[in-house]
Structure 1
Amino acid sequence: MKREARIIEGVMRMKFEEIYDRFQKGRLTTQEAAELLGVSVSTFYRKRERYREEGFEGKYDRRLGKVSPHRAEDGEVRWVTKI
């Protein structure tokens, strides 16, 4: 994982923990917590469940470190960028 991605994930973890703590104490509704995180309510539910099950031992964003299924092959990129 790139250094930038690790830093961003760390920041997102801290932000989630702070917002989740406020949610647990009844200071935020589910909708408010999701809005503060910039995610949908259903995504907040999934992240909340993952946090309860795994803590932050699991990744905040499970896509990090994986190759995109939409990534173009090297040959295709060379062909497209050929001038």
Structure 2
Amino acid sequence: MLLNMKESCLEVKRVKPVKSAEWLPPAGEALKFNVDGSAMGNPGIAGIGGVLRDKSGKVWGLFFAFVGRLDSMAAEILAIQRVVSMCSL
């Protein structure tokens, strides 16, 4: 029996891979800031946020804000800038 490659290729359904995220705690007595920025569109309505945790996962601080119309890369950079300014107080 010969397999028709065109027909068999059409039967394959593409599955989008699921992205998995795992939080890794900081070493020793350090604290860890995780940040994110995203936009709905390019550019689009954008937001930033972050959380400061210790090795046990206890939350020591957090922030979030809408930041206007930006692309996602600019939102990511703005989130990092916000953390740097918070840490230098």
What is the TM-score with the length of structure 2 in the denominator? 0.24
- Structure 1 or 2: larger helix share? 1
What is the TM-score with the length of structure 1 in the denominator? 0.25
